Amino acid sequence: MSAAPVVVLVGPMGVGKSTVGQLLAGRLSVGYRDTDDDIVAEQGRSIAEIFVDEGEETFRAIEKQAVHRALAGHDGVLALGGGAILDADTRALLAGQRVVYLSMDVEEAVKRTGLNTARPLLAVNPRKQWRELMEARRSLYEQVATAVVATDGRTPEEVAQVALDALELKEA
């Protein structure tokens, strides 16, 4: 099957890609897909286990394949893992697609992800880790985005609405 997602969501972990993505899919009457879920289903183990067993580099290679498959095979709303945009080939594939970057500030990030041990990259000193991750990634998120939607102080429903408005997408 060859298809392009109607919307691709990017942004850091914990920003609400899954929640907002499912709301958007409902509003647009299309399917929702998440590349982290694809990886877990395909690998039969959690993301944290893949990081521990094989390291980040191998995870990124697995992720790249999953992202490229989903970009070619899903026509609904697609959420990418927070680090997927680190890959230059993936960024090239995102050019010309409708991509929403969901952003948040550091305090919001720590509130949402600080105690979540399922996210291996933030397991130790989440505030510092998050700042470093964002320094490395902010410009990459911005580079692939057709719209940037700040999530701070907004409910998921409000974020979904702002994204629909920014993309000028009508509900189905």
**Interface residues toward ligand S3P, by CB under 6 A:** 13, 17, 36, 47, 81-83, 119-121
Say how far residue 142 (Cα) sits from the centre of its chain.
13
Gap between the Cα atoms of 24 and 26, Å rounded? 5
Which is nearer to ligand S3P, 84 or 162 (by Cβ)? 84
CB-CB neighbours of 135 under 10 Å: 9
For the bound state, the minimum distance from the C-beta of residue 70 to ligand S3P, rounded and expressed in Å, comes to: 13
Gap between the Cα atoms of 58 and 80, Å rounded? 17
Which is nearer to ligand S3P, 42 or 165 (by Cβ)? 42
**Which parts of 44-125 fold into alpha helices (H)?**
47-73, 88-94, 106-113
Gap between the Cα atoms of 58 and 44, Å rounded? 15
Which is nearer to ligand S3P, 27 or 59 (by Cβ)? 59
For the bound state, the minimum distance from the C-beta of residue 4 to ligand S3P, rounded and expressed in Å, comes to: 21
For the bound state, the minimum distance from the C-beta of residue 73 to ligand S3P, rounded and expressed in Å, comes to: 19
Which is nearer to ligand S3P, 127 or 165 (by Cβ)? 127
